[in-house]
């Protein structure tokens, strides 16, 4: 009986150490790099290319991200109008990852990742680049919310650049 308790305790300790690795103490952290976007303050955002980054990414994902970004940028009055001279173009490549085989539904992904690139429209120069990650714990039950939150995170990134 005591042998079983010892094994159970050992298994639980190992499991907890695998589940909570972030709770361990860490070494010194590097300072966060800040970029100077003062040159593009007051610019608006033009929607550029939105595409899937892998063969397993369903085609609706880039379209959904584009739709949500357009909606959010319009609400924040950051969407460029046609012929706007002070505009930055945003290009997004989105990919999904699946924990298991994608045999059920395309919306059963576990991770949504977007590579976001902001380019000066007047002179082809990359202003900023980042990768946004979102995790979809409940898969197809919450994929709509994951995609909307993902787009909001992209909008926050874009807003930091132009405001």
Q: Domain total for the chain?
A: 1
Q: Between β-strands 87-97 and 44-52, what pairing exists: parallel, antiparallel or unpaired?
A: parallel
- Tell me whether residue 67 is in a domain: yes
Half-sphere exposure of 160 (CA within 13 A, CB side): 12
- Tell me whether residue 113 is in a domain: yes
pLDDT of residue 122: 85
pLDDT of residue 21: 42
CATH code of the domain covering residue 110: 3.40.50.10610
Q: Is the pLDDT of residue 28 over 50?
A: no
The average confidence (pLDDT) of the chain is 82
- Tell me whether residue 122 is in a domain: yes
Q: Is the pLDDT of residue 9 over 80?
A: no
- Tell me whether residue 44 is in a domain: yes
- Tell me whether residue 24 is in a domain: no
| Per-residue pLDDT tens over the stretch 89-123 | 999 999 998 876 655 677 788 899 999 999 998 88
Range of the domain at 65: 36-162
The mean pLDDT value for 35-60 works out to 93
- Tell me whether residue 144 is in a domain: yes
Q: Is the pLDDT of residue 23 over 60?
A: no
Residue 114 CB contacts under 8 Å (≥ 6 apart), including other chains: 65, 92, 93, 94, 95, 131, 132, 150, 154
The mean pLDDT value for 3-23 works out to 50
- Tell me whether residue 51 is in a domain: yes
| Per-residue pLDDT tens over the stretch 110-159 | 899 999 999 998 888 899 999 999 998 776 666 779 999 999 999 999 99
What pTM did the predictor assign? 0.76
């Amino acid at each position: 009986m005591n042998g079983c308790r010892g094994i159970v305790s050992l298994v639980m300790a190992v499991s907890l150490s695998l589940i909570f690795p972030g709770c361990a103490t860490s070494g010194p952290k590097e300072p966060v790099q800040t970029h100077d976007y003062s040159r593009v303050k007051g610019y608006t955002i033009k929607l550029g290319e939105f595409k899937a980054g892998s063969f397993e990414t369903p085609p609706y994902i880039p379209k959904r991200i584009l739709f949500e970004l357009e909606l959010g940028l319009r609400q924040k009055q950051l969407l460029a109008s046609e012929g706007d001279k002070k505009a930055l173009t945003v290009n997004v490549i989105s990919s999904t990852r699946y924990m298991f085989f994608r045999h059920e539904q395309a919306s059963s992904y576990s991770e949504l990742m977007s590579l976001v690139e902001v380019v000066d429209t007047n002179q082809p120069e990359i202003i900023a680049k980042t990768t946004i990650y979102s995790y979809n714990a409940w898969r197809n039950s919450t994929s709509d919310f994951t995609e909307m939150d993902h787009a909001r995170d992209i909008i926050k990134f874009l807003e930091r650049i132009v405001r």
